[in-house]
Amino acid sequence: MYSRPIRILHALVALGVLYQLIVSLLMRAPQRDHPVSQSALFLFSSHKWVGLFVVIVLFVSWAYRLIYWKRENQGRLFPWLSGSGINSLKAEGLNFLRFRWKQIPEDGVLAGTIHGLGLLAATAMALTGSILFVELYPNQPIFSATHFILHLHSFIANFMWVYLYGHGLMAIWHELTGDKSISKMFHLK
Ligand code: HEM
Ligand code: HEM
């Protein structure tokens, strides 16, 4: 069972990133060479401000995780940082490939690694987003110096989508098969 601070921070990041991914399909940033509709600009503005909110929540989340690293068992999210973690990851990975899924612990390092990668992807979106925030402030259109960061932001977005689908589907699967993972994770009391 995850602690209350982790559950609250997770809910804020999950909803924020979900909003950012969905709104990115409908918005448009101000352009130099051609006009953009008012509604697309409005949605972009919401992307900018919700993005800033996610940046702050992730910053708090990282500070909390680093301070309470041991108590919150954060090594589980990044087992590849230690030799013993890599060995456990190999063992769980082998069980996964041999379809011995019942032997993989729910709170093991394999699930932890995937969660850790998701957290890193969200953080990379937030970091590139904050650079864009500064470069495009207050309503600058995209210019050539911004392009590299924007390409990076869009490139990482692919991993964020893959994570959302994989992680979301696993969560729904575990919810429906009786583990009630979503109810537990989003229970904020
Ligand atoms: C964690 C926070 C964020 C997430 C998950 C996120 C996600 C995304 C996604 C999925 C796209 C579409 C990429 C594509 O399909 O090529 C996008 C585009 C973009 N994002 Fe973010 N973003 C975040 C924060 C920010 C922030 C803070 C800014 C600051 C201004 C920003 C600026 C942009 C811009 C300029 C675009 C391109 C818009 C266009 O094509 O017209 N993002 N973002
Ligand atoms: C896309 C943004 C998301 C990110 C970056 C993310 C990240 C994480 C992380 C890092 C964990 C481990 C707990 C922690 O240390 O915080 C976790 C667990 C969990 N997440 Fe997400 N999550 C996201 C979205 C979602 C969504 C949309 C759902 C619901 C459908 C969800 C459901 C869950 C559940 C049920 C767990 C607990 C899994 C378990 O029992 O071990 N997450 N998530």
Name the residue with higher pLDDT: 144 or 172: 172
Ordered by start, the domain boundaries in the chain are 4-80+110-185
pLDDT band at residue 143, thresholds of 50, 70 and 90? confident
Decide: helix, strand or coil at residue 48: helix
Tell me what pLDDT residue 83 has: 97
Q: Is the CB of 132 under 6 A from ligand 1?
A: yes
Residue nearest to atom 23 of ligand 2 (CA): 14
pLDDT over 70 percentage in the chain? 100
d(CA 161, CA 141): 26
**pLDDT over 90 (residue 144):** no
Locate tokens 């977005």: which residue?
A: 157
Q: Is the CB of 117 under 6 A from ligand 2?
A: no
d(CA 9, CA 54): 10
**pLDDT for 150-185, tens place per residue?**
999 999 999 999 999 999 999 999 999 998 999 999
Domain 4-80+110-185 - what CATH class?
mainly alpha
Decide: helix, strand or coil at residue 34: coil
Please give the average per-residue pLDDT across 38-64, as a whole number: 98
- Ligand 1 centroid to Cα of residue 154, in Å, is 7
Q: Is the CB of 154 under 6 A from ligand 1?
A: yes
Length of the chain: 189
